[in-house]
Amino acid sequence: MEVTIRDRVILHDISFSVKRGDFAAIIGPNGAGKTTLFRALIGSIPHGGTVVWAKDARIGYVPQHVDLDRHLALTLQDFLQLKSRVLNLPDTAVNDVAQMLHIDEGKLKLPLSSLSAGELQRGLIAFALIGNPNVLLFDEPTANLDAPGEEHIYQTLHKLQNERDMTILFISHDLNLVTRYADTVICVSSSLFCAGPPKETLTPEVVDKLYGSLPFEHIHAKK
C-alpha cells in the first residue's frame, strides 16, 4: 500500500497480513502515518496498492477522537442508534453493546457533547461494536481512559477476541501493552517497516531505530 496526501508520501511500500483471530498492534513514532494506515484500510481515503479483507469481514473502527460541535443535539443513544438503524438492526442492539461496555442508562440519555473524553471514547467503542463486527480497528483505544477504564477495555477486547474469534488491529504507544496482548506487531515508520511476533520483532535495536534516540539526549550531547 502507498498513501500520498497533497503530493506528500505518507506511507510507502507497506505490506503485511493479519490472520483471523489475531491481536495485531501497530506501533510507530508520532506522525509516522498509523492513523492514515487505518483510514486507508477502511477505505476512507484513496490509496495505492490493494487491501484484501476476508469475504465475511465486518469491520468496526474506533477513531482516536471525533471532532464534535459543542452544542450538537445528539444523545449517546441517538448516536449509537444512527448505526443500528443504518444496519437495520433492532434498537436493542444499542442496549446490548452498552451493557457489554458498562455504559449505564443515564449516560445513554446525555448529549454527546456533554460526555467526558473517556465516556466519549467508550461511546465510540460501542459504536464500533454495533453490528457484531469480526474485525476491529482501534486507534489508541485507551488514550483518554483512566487506568481501571483502560484495563476494562483491554479485558473486553481480549474476551471478544477469544469468544468471537475476532481479529483486532490496534494502534498503541504503550510497548508494555503491546508485548502483553499482541500476537503480531506491525511497525510503521518512514525509515523502517517490520511485521512479526512481538518477541522476535521488537528487539532493542528495532525499537531504537523506530523511535530514534530521545531528543534531549542530543541536546545534552551537544552541550
Partner 1 sequence: MNTLEFFSLVAMLVVAAASGLVGAFALMRRMTLAADAMSHVALPGLGAAMLIGINPLIGGAIALFLGAVLVWRLELKTKIATETIVGVVFSTSLAVGALLSPDHELLELLFGGETLFTWGEAIVGMVTGLVIIGLILSLKERFAISFLSADLAAVTGIRREFLEFLFLMFFVITVLLGLNFLGVLLMGSLIIVPAATAKNVAKSFKGDLFASALISSLSVLVGWLIANRFAFEIGPSIIAVAAVFFFVSLLFRD
What three-state secondary structure class fits 207? helix
For the bound state, the minimum distance from the C-beta of residue 30 to partner 1, rounded and expressed in Å, comes to 19
207: its cell numbers: 525499537
For the bound state, the minimum distance from the C-beta of residue 124 to partner 1, rounded and expressed in Å, comes to 8
What three-state secondary structure class fits 3? strand
User: Helix 117-129 to helix 92-100 angle, to the nearest 10 degrees?
Assistant: 120
Give 23's strand partners: 168
For the bound state, the minimum distance from the C-beta of residue 221 to partner 1, rounded and expressed in Å, comes to 40
For the bound state, the minimum distance from the C-beta of residue 82 to partner 1, rounded and expressed in Å, comes to 4
For the bound state, the minimum distance from the C-beta of residue 153 to partner 1, rounded and expressed in Å, comes to 19
The whole-angstrom separation of Cα 100 and Cα 193 is: 36
Question: Residue 84 or residue 201: which is nearer to partner 1 going by CB?
Answer: 84
Question: Residue 43 or residue 90: which is nearer to partner 1 going by CB?
Answer: 43
The whole-angstrom separation of Cα 60 and Cα 173 is: 21
| CB proximity list for 186: less than 8 A, separation 6 or greater | 16, 18, 24, 25, 26, 27, 194, 195
The whole-angstrom separation of Cα 162 and Cα 155 is: 11
141: its cell numbers: 483505544
For the bound state, the minimum distance from the C-beta of residue 222 to partner 1, rounded and expressed in Å, comes to 39
Question: Residue 137 or residue 210: which is nearer to partner 1 going by CB?
Answer: 137
Residues engaged in binding partner 1 (CB under 8 A): 39, 42-44, 59-61, 63, 66, 68-69, 71-75, 78-79, 81-83, 85-87, 111, 127-128, 137
Question: Residue 9 or residue 66: which is nearer to partner 1 going by CB?
Answer: 66
Give 90's strand partners: none
Question: Residue 67 or residue 104: which is nearer to partner 1 going by CB?
Answer: 67
The whole-angstrom separation of Cα 3 and Cα 45 is: 9
Question: Residue 18 or residue 42: which is nearer to partner 1 going by CB?
Answer: 42
Shortest CA distance to 134 belongs to which of 8, 16, 21?
A: 21
